[in-house]
Structure 1
């Protein structure tokens, strides 16, 4: 993994900034929610204190506190009178919470819903009975099958269940000692998929403020003991009171009303006595979004998911949980708004605080619980505040993270560029012969990479000085060895002029031959040094490279009749700017090397190819292969691969001179074995 990618991965740590900001916003949101809950509790305590000082507002009937729990029935306020047809369509549209009636085994037998409008009390009863038993006219009783009994403050009414038709409410008249029909109770029976349904109405004055319901389920229409029984009557047989909202309490509660605050007062059984404030169950108003406009709910959902902690239970419609209504402690709980809320989506939070209302009578040891004040408020304002802060935080941290990413990416790119420049300069600093190619670039920034760059420059400068010393060593040795070599040769000449025996003369001649060879070596070294100096002073000109190759090929064929020469080059002129004499000398060295290694009668191939940006000159001959590792060493001075023991006096200067000429033309000279292994190919690459 390169340095840029490493720094990019490291820059991903900047994403910790948005995460830390989200954690901070969650803590702030929790603190604001706790403050809102404390405010709701304070509001509830103020209202509870007012109601405790005036208990007649919440408990106008003191005798009711002594009634058993579960005996009372709640009367819902109806905006209009329902049609008493037995189907209950108007009740379903109101979505009222029914009262469940359980049998002796705890299984649901029926459910009832009560309401009042004007002077009438309305009742809807739905029973679960897969096999209803209807009244047998042959029976002596008024109801031999399934029966619904209605109890008021002063009378009991028996309603025989029918599959369809009007209700017959029968009551016992003691003065006549017979059952009579109560015409003021009107209603109808209908069959339902689960059993049967009853819808009726009766005057509020007829109930006397109390009402009880009992449902009898018989297996047969014989008037026997019911198989199942469910009732709202307590053990004393007296029906419970009808609980309904209190107008005076409603007026008192409206004094504490505030926008976005719902206040509810319930009695000790959780029945709503008064309520003011917003209704979160109102139908949602569809707001048409303009075409192409962004949907705000998606953005709000994202922010709420960002700040959400736990999944909240949905807000109950009519009755709050028992932990908010069935104890004497101040409690609080968070709910989620219903889906059909007209003000918010289903993921909005609603805080609910429940405060008990306890009488302040000092002469009572255990102060009775009169009811509870429930204050509920939406957290939309807090959520808007936190969402706005989350939006600003997200934009700020995203911009900061993006800026950090860009800066780190730019710094990584710049640092990677410097390293690549250093790598490129180090790779091209020294040519194949070990000479320094120009000056090594010097850095202008004093950091670790700059120090490394200066260290490379210093090292290469030392290597260049050492190479210059090695290059001048031959000329220095040649100059220093000529005088003792001349003394040695003159001494050998004088010794040979005298009388010597055969052994001494043989040794003297051998020493003379060695001196002659040493003298030729020194002359070759001097010539190479002079040739290198003359190459650097050569003049360039434009000439036809193809014509030069053709002329040289003909001269080589005449000079070496024992070998065949073959040339491949373009027929069109190939103009090149260089020194033709030096290139001819370079080809002379390559051809001389090829002739010395190629067998007699073999063909030496010469070729010129014009590429897009360069010329390629090749000289290929048959013969032995290059030893491994001599691809570049072959062009160094005093390097030879001839297997003649040094008797021929080849010092390896020919190819070295050819390499010097190639460097003068900014070209590259290389040697490689043929692909089939039959010989060697020398290639000169000249830039156009």
Structure 2
């Protein structure tokens, strides 16, 4: 059994093997994952086809209502569109208080104006970015246009209450084209933070004397703690035509009050310098109204100069919430949720650029995938041309993020992993429980089999037959039947020696008496050798029967023998003295260490054990050598060693030297040896709950037998005795 275990390359238990088999279930989520990835590719292709179909339908719808498109396109000039502004509607009314909190939902609309937007610079000093700039945003609510200006200014100069000139202080310039096509200029300046109204300015640019106040334009001026101020204004849309421009003028010298720098969205000195303004068209909004309700979809309508004239929808994908704790845990552990707070360069654009837009304006529909500015999302953009009378007058662009696909894909993968994890846990747990029960049954069967067979090969017990109907139950019943039959045969063999001895004693006695009678007769001399040989054979046969029954009688006597407390050193010394008389041709040396060797046991049995060991040592010792007997003690164990110099033990019998019918003799001897001597030694040592071993020695070369006996163990009581102190 040990050899087989040693020769195994990989010693795995049944539970480990079944556990490894359960891991093959991991191929299921892997296949599912590959399927979901492939499904994501199909969803992406399907999204492109679906969006292309939708944008084509919207383009055809606008083709059927060209008046709505043309009305918006006609209100702006064909000039360069760099200063075109598309004003997006607000979600709620802005409170004019000079604070930016109402504008926080519209942070993407803010644009910064600085060095590249200077429209006037009298040359009184080099422009410093940190000294003067502003950010600006606009929006419409119902019939009004709202605008905010967050100005960075290292020196804020307010209007002097003693002067009528509004241009000799920091101020806001507003230039518009009225609905009737006239050019109008307004200035907002104040002597202190608070409410402020615009004043209409004369047509003469150099005339800074204001006209009457324009009470329809309202504003609020507030200083900021970091240096600068905020202006919020409200202008009725019915005052504005198709063009508008804003500019912030900076004055830094309180004494001279000379204008230093003017930064604006466009020029404010002439109507041709104004930027074009586009507000949402009711007609186009009505056409795009259904598209604006769809989540994560944005639709743009541009003219042939790329300027935005209509807009609907937004790119805010709906997040998919985790339904269970496990799916939420896997989502957090493995996946990053699709980004919602990405930065898109087109979020507040009034003029659009892109290869798909260029292609659509050239008459070829095109779709592209692009990443956002911060690389946190992918956006599908599909553009389709808008035609009127065979000419391309603009394009429709629809955009949709990949976030929805990623959310669905991630959710599918998460659900797949969740279900696979639960299935794997359940299957692994089931297999582990099954393997544990299976292993315990196999180990129990192994333990029962090992306990049923003693180390000497005798059947010591039985195995109770299992009622289980599986293979292990069948194996258990087979073992039970086999042990029962083996027990019968074992008992037969055990009793065979005594039966054979009993049966042969009578014929041997008859033959021996017959030989005795023949000896009394006057036999011829040539017949005497035959009777002598017959008598020797009878004696040899009788000796064999005696030795065969010796071990059996010893085993039977061990069951009822009484123990006693005795000095082990006296037993050993007495035996050695007897050996010196019995074997005068051999030399013996006894070494006894100075210890207390009192112990419980049977002295006669131990003396018989010594007889067998000394007899074995005499048979194998070399001539003119000494047999050494050494008595010592290790903790609570008595140790006896017998060393004889001579031939070594063969390796093939070292592991079973103390078994029955095993002998190391290879040469025929005058005396019969059945290999029972050392077997009797083991029986006596086992009775005293000790250990016996034999080993070859190198210096001197020979064999050493070592017996270790517990000093306090009582085999009859199967417990521990306390050795009484000598009086």
Q: Shorter-normalised TM-score: what interval?
A: 0.5 to 0.7
Which of 489, 497, 505 is residue 520 of structure 2 equivalent to?
497
CA distance in 2, matches of 1:383, 1:650: 89
1:538 is paired with a residue whose SS is coil
Answer whether contact 1:478 1:526 (CA < 8 A) is retained.
yes
Shift of 1:518: 2.1
Q: Report the alpha carbon displacement of residue 534 of structure 1 after superposing the two structures with TM.
A: 1.6
Q: Please tell me whether the aligned partners of residues 284 and 310 of structure 2 are also in contact (alpha carbons under 8 angstroms).
A: no
- The superposition leaves residues 568-589 of structure 1 with CA deviations (integer Å, 9 ceiling, x where unpaired) of 456135544x444323322232
Shift of 1:399: 3.5
User: Corresponding residue for 2:118?
Assistant: 83
**Residue of structure 2 in register with 1:529 after alignment:** 552
The corresponding residue for 1:253 is 285
User: Residue in 2 aligned with 1:191?
Assistant: none
Match of 1:670 among 693, 698, 709: 693
Pairing of 1:127-526 with structure 2 (within 5 A): 201=267, 205-206=271-272, 246-247=278-279, 249=281, 252-253=284-285, 256=289, 257-258=292-293, 260-268=296-304, 270-278=306-314, 302-303=334-335, 318-322=352-356, 325-326=360-361, 328=363, 331-339=366-374, 346-359=375-388, 367-380=390-403, 383-384=406-407, 387-388=410-411, 390-420=413-443, 422=445, 430-440=453-463, 445-526=468-549
5+ unaligned residues in a row in structure 2: which ranges?
1-9, 87-110, 122-126, 138-173, 178-182, 184-264, 317-327, 714-727
Partners of 2:538 and 2:650 lie apart in 1 by 31
Separation (CA, whole Å) in 2 of partners of 1:375 and 1:543: 108
Deviations 1:35-65 (A, max 9, x none): 766775566456434432332333359999x
| Residues 564 and 602 in structure 1, CA contact (< 8 A), matched pair in contact too | yes
| Distance change in 2, residues 1:568/1:502 (3 Å) | same
Question: How big is the shift at 1:503?
Answer: 1.4
SS at match of 2:629: strand
Indicate conservation of the 8 Å contact 1:605/1:621, yes or no: no
Matching residue of 1:572: 596
Q: Map 1:8-23 onto structure 2 (within 5 A).
A: 8-23=19-34
- Retained in 2: the 8 A contact 1:250–1:274? no
Confirm or deny: 8 A CA contact 1:632 1:671 kept in the other structure.
no
Measure how far apart 1:504 and its partner are.
1.4
Alignment partner of 1:648 out of 671, 678, 683: 671
1:264 shift after superposition = 0.9
Which of 626, 642, 663 pairs up with 1:602? Answer: 626
**Structure 1 pair 587/42, CA: closer, same or farther in 2 (3 Å)?**
same
TM superposition shift of 1:266 = 1.8
| 1:277–1:350 distance in 2 versus 1, CA, 3 Å | same
Cα distance change, pair 456–526 in 1 and its aligned pair in 2 (3 A):
same
- Indicate the SS of the match to 2:680: helix
- TM-score, normalised on structure 2? 0.59
TM-superposed deviation, 1:31: 6.7
Separation (CA, whole Å) in 1 of partners of 2:330 and 2:648: 77
Structure 1 residue 252: Cα displacement:
2.9
Shift of 1:459: 4.1
- In the alignment, what sits opposite 2:202? none
Q: 2: distance between equivalents of 1:88 and 1:298?
A: 52
Aligned-residue offset at 1:644: 7.2
| Deviation for aligned residue 1:507 | 2.0
Rate the CA distance shift 1:337–1:412 in 2: closer, same or farther, 3 A: farther
SS at match of 2:119: coil
Deviation of 1:667 (Å): 4.1
Going from structure 1 to structure 2, the CA distance change for 1:202 and 1:601 (only over 3 Å counts) comes to closer
Distance 2:640 2:175 in 1: 114
Q: Is contact 2:381-2:399 (8 Å) kept?
A: yes
Question: What TM-score, normalized to structure 1?
Answer: 0.62
Q: Residue 302 and residue 512 in structure 1: after superposition, are their counterparts in 2 closer, same or farther (change >3 A)?
A: closer
Contact 1:330 1:356 in 2 (8 A): yes
Q: Which residue of 2 aligns with 1:57?
A: 68
Contact 1:444 1:450 in 2 (8 A): yes
What value does the CA root-mean-square deviation take over the aligned residues?
4.9
Closer, same or farther in 2 for the Cα pair 1:445/1:617, shift >3 Å? farther
The secondary structure found in structure 1 opposite 2:84 is strand
By how many angstroms is 1:372 displaced? Answer: 1.8
Separation in 2, partners of 1:642, 1:354: 105
Contact 2:378 2:403 in 1 (8 A): yes
Q: How far did residue 505 of structure 1 move?
A: 1.8
8 Å contact kept, 2:383–2:397: yes
Alpha-carbon offset, residue 337 of structure 1: 3.2
Aligned residues: 522
8 Å Cα contact 1:265/1:374 also seen in 2: yes
- The one-character-per-residue Cα deviations of 1:489-523 (angstroms, maximum 9, x if unpaired) are 33333333333332112222222222233233333
- Match of 2:118, SS? coil
Q: CA deviation at 1:537?
A: 2.5
What is the CA distance between 1:431 and its match in structure 2? 4.2
